[in-house]
Amino acid sequence: MIGKLRVVNSLTREKEVFEPLNPPHVGMYVCGPTVYSDVHLGNVRTFMSFDVIYRYLQFLGYKVRYVRNITDVGHLSDTGEDKISKKAKLESLEPMEIVQKYTNDFHQVMHTFNLLPPDIEPTATGHLMEQMEMIQELVDNGYAYESNGSVYFDINQFSDKFEYGKLSGRKTEDMLNQTRELDGGSDKRNPLDFALWKKAAPEHIMRWNTKWSDGFPGWHLECSVMSTKYLGEEFDIHGGGMDLKFPHHECEIAQNAGSKGKDGAKYWMHTNMLTVNGTKMSKSLGNSFLPHQLISGDHELLERGFSPMTIRFFMLQSHYASTLDFSNEALNAAQKGYMKLANGLRLIKSYEYPAGGQEDINQKQADQINKICDNCHHAMNDDFNTALAIGHLFNLVKKVNSIQAGQLKLEEIGQETFDRMKTTFISFAEDILGLRLESEISSQNLLDVILEEYKSAKEAKNYDKVDELRAKLKSEGVIVKDMKTGIDWAFEES
Ligand code: AMP
Ligand code: ZN
């Protein structure tokens, strides 16, 4: 392993050396989607960031158990209606039909962008018994109370022993001053108390009969329950978008501490937002793109469509903790960047070290290549800095291009450096960043025949034919390159 992994912990606000609680095992929980509508690109950015984190931890040799839930009950809209129930009524479907439909769509989108599936994908409705158990624990410990069939978390009692607000850095007095309205009206003892169980109004469809009432669980509860059930009372990483810090994750910590005496996760990690002209991409603001719109280009803000790997590259070109602003220019630049990387990747995959080579090693070149490989590791070790890692991969692309142009010979760098360069390039691009080659040339043989024809036309100085063949290949996204070393080709980069 090269250097130590450091992660920024939202709880301590420090960059800390990553030390798992039970190595080589790592438990990671990420809040998943509420499956009442299509996922938009903002959501994709958050899940992609954790996909790379999952991939890198595995690359480092950890045995990761990655849990990402599906919220299928309890997430209320601004008007206090369950988001899934509301959609089910609107579409005259069973709530579980809505859940299934959008879960399927979500999986499809994750697959399109080459995100690995989690190891466990639990649902809130599949864990109602466990949620009721945690509510009971909280009541028994004096941190929750029943009121008119609903059960609320008791912030006053909790604050006697613990600190509510430590993740988001909020003070209860300030929160109280900012709270104008009581959600649930007079049922609550304190406006900051949040629902663990809600008594269902007569029109509410999703409901379960418990000793408290015919009702449904509060949204924050499922994540406390499912993370600790599958990863233990203390586990390594808990993640989600920044907008979940408060109240969702703050309430989770309170529930964990109130029931188990522990905060749950050791490292809390939050991704920053995908924005459009500086405003958070969000369904409710009407500035969200659906993945298929971006791929097809069918959206008024888009000049054209972009491939899934271009979009993946675009997202990973910024660090997960920075905001990323969406624009046509940025995507056009990402397309060029991705194609450049893809060309380097294709070339390095095709190179084999020549048998019997390795006489006069150019130590300067070998050192440079080894340094670039080290830098790829350092970048990812620095709080998963994908932006920097991509920058270093481009330096490897330059070396690969020099090899292709005959300016640098494979023999010059030696077998060991060549092997390291090849494995570093492939593992960082494909295994860690999850960028795969998209443009498959439909028939390599056919390409070889056309290139042979091109070569003959050039030798015969038949320039009309040369131009015609170039144009033909260009229309297939292939650029012919006349190198000192002979004729080669590359995917078009713009
Ligand atoms: P939701 O389905 O709304 O609960 O969101 C699923 C995940 O996407 C959560 O972790 C959110 O924090 C995250 N998310 C929502 N909007 C954005 C955005 N514009 N950029 C990045 N992540 C987002
Ligand atoms: Zn959650």
pLDDT (tens, 9 = 90+) of the chain, 494 residues, equals 689 999 999 999 999 999 999 999 999 999 999 999 899 999 999 999 999 999 999 999 999 999 999 999 988 887 888 899 889 899 999 999 999 999 999 999 999 999 999 999 999 999 999 999 999 999 999 999 999 999 999 999 999 999 999 999 998 888 887 775 545 456 899 999 999 999 999 988 899 999 999 999 999 999 999 999 999 999 999 999 999 999 999 999 999 999 999 999 999 999 999 999 899 999 888 888 899 999 999 988 888 999 999 999 999 999 999 999 989 999 999 999 999 999 999 999 999 999 887 668 999 999 999 999 999 999 999 999 999 999 999 999 999 999 999 999 999 999 999 999 999 999 999 999 999 988 665 567 778 888 888 988 988 999 999 999 999 888 888 899 888 888 888 888 87
Q: Is ligand 1 within 6 A of the CB of residue 273?
A: yes
pLDDT of residue 180: 58
Q: Say if 437 falls within a structural domain.
A: no
Three-class HEC string of the chain: CCCCCEEEECCCCEEEECCCCECCEEEEEECCCECCCCCCHHHHHHHHHHHHHHHHHHHCCCEEEEEECEECCCCECCCCCEHHHHHHHHHCCCHHHHHHHHHHHHHHHHHHCCCCCCCECCECHHHHHHHHHHHHHHHHCCCEEEECCEEEECHHHHHHHCCCCCCCCCCHHHHHHHCCCCCCHHHCCCCCCCEEEEECCCCCCCCEECCCCEEEECHHHHHHHHHHHHHCCCEEEEEEEHHHHHHHHHHHHHHHHHHHCCCCEEEEEEECCEEECCEECCHHHCCCCCHHHHHHCCCCCCCCCCCHHHHHHHHHCCCCCCCEEECHHHHHHHHHHHHHHHHHHHHHHHCCCCCCCCCCCCHHHHHHHHHHHHHHHHHHHECCCHHHHHHHHHHHHHHHHHHHCCCCCHHHHHHHHHHHHHHHHHHHHHHHCCCCCCCCCCCHHHHHHHHHHHHHHHHCCCHHHHHHHHHHHHCCCEEEEEECCEEEEEECCC
> Rounded CA gap, 226 and 74, in Å?
14
Cα(238) to ligand 2 centroid in Å equals 9
Cα(221) to ligand 2 centroid in Å equals 8
Q: Which ligand lies nearest to the CA atom of residue 49 in the structure?
A: 1
Q: Is ligand 1 within 6 A of the CB of residue 43?
A: yes
CA proximity to 29, closest of 227, 222, 221, 219: 227
pLDDT of residue 152: 97
The amino acid that residue 55 corresponds to is: R
Q: Is ligand 1 within 6 A of the CB of residue 243?
A: yes
Q: Is ligand 1 within 6 A of the CB of residue 343?
A: no
Cα(264) to ligand 1 centroid in Å equals 21
Query: Per the omega criterion (within 30 degrees of 0), is the bond before 247 cis?
Result: yes
323 and 224 in one domain? no
Residue closest by Cα to atom 14 of ligand 1 = 43
102 and 20 in one domain? yes
The C-alpha angle with vertex 293 and arms to 342 and 79, in degrees rounded to 5, equals 130
CATH number at residue 314: 1.20.120.640
Q: Say if 385 falls within a structural domain.
A: yes
320 and 196 in one domain? no
pLDDT of residue 450: 85
332 and 245 in one domain? no
Q: Which domain holds residue 341?
A: 283-432
391 and 260 in one domain? no
Q: Say if 1 falls within a structural domain.
A: no
pTM above 0.85, yes or no: yes
Q: Is ligand 1 within 6 A of the CB of residue 468?
A: no
- Which atom in ligand 1 lies closest to the alpha carbon of residue 32? 6
487 and 341 in one domain? no
162 and 297 in one domain? no
Per the CB < 8 A criterion, the answer to whether 95 and 74 are in contact is no
110 and 35 in one domain? yes
Maximum separation of any 2 CA atoms in the chain, in Å? 92
pLDDT of residue 113: 97
Q: Is ligand 1 within 6 A of the CB of residue 45?
A: yes
User: Final residue of a domain: which of 241, 271, 301?
Assistant: 271
Cα(76) to ligand 1 centroid in Å equals 15
Q: Say if 290 falls within a structural domain.
A: yes
21 and 133 in one domain? yes
Indicate the number of domains in the chain: 3
The amino acid that residue 167 corresponds to is: L
> Rounded CA gap, 44 and 345, in Å?
25
pLDDT of residue 283: 82
CATH number at residue 247: 3.40.50.620
Q: Which residue carries 């910590």 as its tokens?
A: 253
478 and 413 in one domain? no
Q: Say if 86 falls within a structural domain.
A: yes
Q: Which ligand lies nearest to the CA atom of residue 69 in the structure?
A: 2
Residue closest by Cα to atom 18 of ligand 1 = 42
Q: Say if 323 falls within a structural domain.
A: yes
Q: Is ligand 1 within 6 A of the CB of residue 241?
A: yes
Q: Say if 278 falls within a structural domain.
A: no
User: Final residue of a domain: which of 239, 271, 303?
Assistant: 271
Q: Is ligand 1 within 6 A of the CB of residue 282?
A: yes
pLDDT of residue 181: 55
Q: Give residues whose Cβ lies within 5 Å of ion ligand 2.
A: 31, 223
| CA-to-CA separations, 334 to 119, 199, 312, 359, in angstroms, rounded | 31, 50, 9, 40
Q: Say if 104 falls within a structural domain.
A: yes
User: Final residue of a domain: which of 238, 271, 304?
Assistant: 271
Cα(201) to ligand 2 centroid in Å equals 24
196 and 170 in one domain? yes
The amino acid that residue 326 corresponds to is: F
Q: Which residue carries 């971006």 as its tokens?
A: 294
pLDDT of residue 197: 97
467 and 409 in one domain? no
Cα(9) to ligand 1 centroid in Å equals 19
